[in-house]
Amino acid sequence: RKMERELRAAIDKKVQIETVYQPVYAADTGALNGVEALARWRHPKQGVISPDVFVPLAEELGIISELGRIVLEQACEALGPYQDLTISINASPLELSSDAYPLHVLSTLAKFGVDPDRLEIEITESLQLEEKSQAAVAIATLRAAGVSFALDDFGAGYSSFGRLQNLHVDRIKIDKSFIDALSPGDSSAVVQAIISMARAKGLQTTAEGVETLEQKMVLQSLGCDALQGFLLSRPISRVELHAMLDRPR
| Residue nearer to ligand G on the CB measure, 30 or 131 | 30
Q: From CA 41, how far away is CA 9, in angstroms rounded?
A: 12
Q: From CA 47, how far away is CA 41, in angstroms rounded?
A: 8
Question: Does 155 interact with ligand G (rule: CB under 6 A)?
Answer: no
Q: From CA 57, how far away is CA 35, in angstroms rounded?
A: 25
| Residue nearer to ligand G on the CB measure, 120 or 153 | 153
| Residue nearer to Mn ion on the CB measure, 122 or 125 | 122
Residues in contact with Mn ion, shown as a per-residue x/- string from 73 to 112 under the rule CB under 5 A: -----------------x----------------------
Q: Please classify residue 4 by burial: count the beta carbons closer than 10 Å to its beta carbon, then call 0-12 exposed, 13-18 middle and 19+ buried.
A: middle
Q: Tell me the CA end-to-end span of the chain in Å, nearest whole number.
A: 47
Question: By rule CB under 5 A, what count of residues binds Mn ion?
Answer: 3
Q: Which stretch binds ligand G (CB under 6 A): 7-15, 27-35, 44-52, 132-140?
A: 44-52
- Helical H segments across 171-237, by residue range: 176-180, 189-200, 213-222
Q: Residues 152, 154, 191, 195: which binds Na ion (CB under 5 A)?
A: 152
Question: Does 211 interact with ligand G (rule: CB under 6 A)?
Answer: yes
Question: Does 36 interact with Na ion (rule: CB under 5 A)?
Answer: no
Q: From CA 19, how far away is CA 214, in angstroms rounded?
A: 30
* Interface with Na ion in residues 100-139 (CB under 5 A): none
| Residue nearer to Mn ion on the CB measure, 152 or 225 | 152
Q: Residues 120, 125, 152, 225: which binds Mn ion (CB under 5 A)?
A: 152
**What is the chain's Cα-based Rg?**
18
CB 21 within 8 A of CB 241: yes
| Residue nearer to Mn ion on the CB measure, 76 or 151 | 151
SS3 of residue 139 by DSSP: helix
Phi, psi for 14 (deg, rounded to 5)? 55, 50
Query: Minimum CB separation from Mn ion for residue 150, in Å?
Result: 8
SS3 of residue 235 by DSSP: coil
Question: Which residues in this chain contact Mn ion in the complex, by CB under 5 A?
Answer: 90, 122, 152
Question: Which residues in this chain contact ligand G in the complex, by CB under 6 A?
Answer: 22, 38-39, 50-52, 55, 68, 71, 90-92, 152-153, 208-211, 229-230, 235
